[in-house]
Amino acid sequence: MTQVTQTLLKTRVGDTFVHQAGTEHEQAILFLHGSGPGASAWANWQYAVPTLGERYHTIAPDLAGFGQSLHPDPAPQGIRRWMRLWIDQILALLDELKLGRVHLVGNSMGGAIALHLLAEAPERFDRAVLMGPAGGPIRLSPELDRVWGFYEDPSPRTLAQAFRWFAYDDSAVGGNIDAIAEMRFALAMEPRVRASYEAMFPRPRQEILDQLVLPDSALRRIQNPVLLIHGRDDKVVPLESSLHLLARLPRVQLHVIGRCSHWTQIEYRDTFHRLLEDFFTGAI
């Protein structure tokens, strides 16, 4: 697999921590991670960035409010203000890297961010893959409510419990969920990371999901080809979210994986990478 570099880039919006591989390749893929306590680009894309970096310039930033990227102080209040910051951050990053048009991959909340980017700046993106995406009008699941409300009862044990909802089978993520939780817990408890997260996901959390939804009129105007990938057994963001998008996006297809929950890119990473390569080359 291709070597991955880490860089803290200063853009017009602020600091963005970025993982990159395959910088010599002409075509680029931008990966947007999801939410969750201690979430970061590397936690989501540690396999995809080096693997796809063999053929593409792969770019995975920590979104504002996560990991080592900017943590505004005071933090934005309300998910729409965070969405404005994420859109501005990503477009500023593409400008800083001097990239005109890239493929786009969004996971979970990153899928909703990807949809907003396609609606606002479609000329900056070619094809898009949305994996287990938020953005459909779904009811808040008990699992997602506990994930977003993690700091109401923070501990490595509750974090490990959340990760077991993300994976259909512990063995697919190495089997040692408790060890992964211990590692992620340390990052989650950093004061600035916690402050950003609590500002993003206050109660009532159903309103957060509702505000991530793009109107049907906006979805129908998105002309970028889109591939939806969803775990059939996803309890965090149910399959209904992708079914909603399937019925409204003009140039769209859906791939559903059985015995798979929310971490498709980890549980079925070989299948996931193959789907991305086939889609971005136009094979599917």
Active site residues: 108, 234, 262
Coil, helix or strand at residue 11: coil
Alpha helices, DSSP H, located in the chain: 41-45, 48-52, 79-96, 109-120, 142-148, 156-166, 177-188, 191-200, 205-211, 216-219, 240-246, 264-267, 269-280
Pairing outcome for strands 15-21 and 57-61: antiparallel
> For the chain, how far is it from start to end, CA to CA, in angstroms?
24
- What is the CB neighbour count within 10 angstroms for residue 200? 20
Distance CA 45, CA 65 (A): 18
Nearest to 31 by CA among 80, 94, 81: 94
Coil, helix or strand at residue 60: strand
Is the separation of the CB atoms in 246 and 252 below 8 Å? yes
Pairing outcome for strands 252-257 and 5-10: unpaired
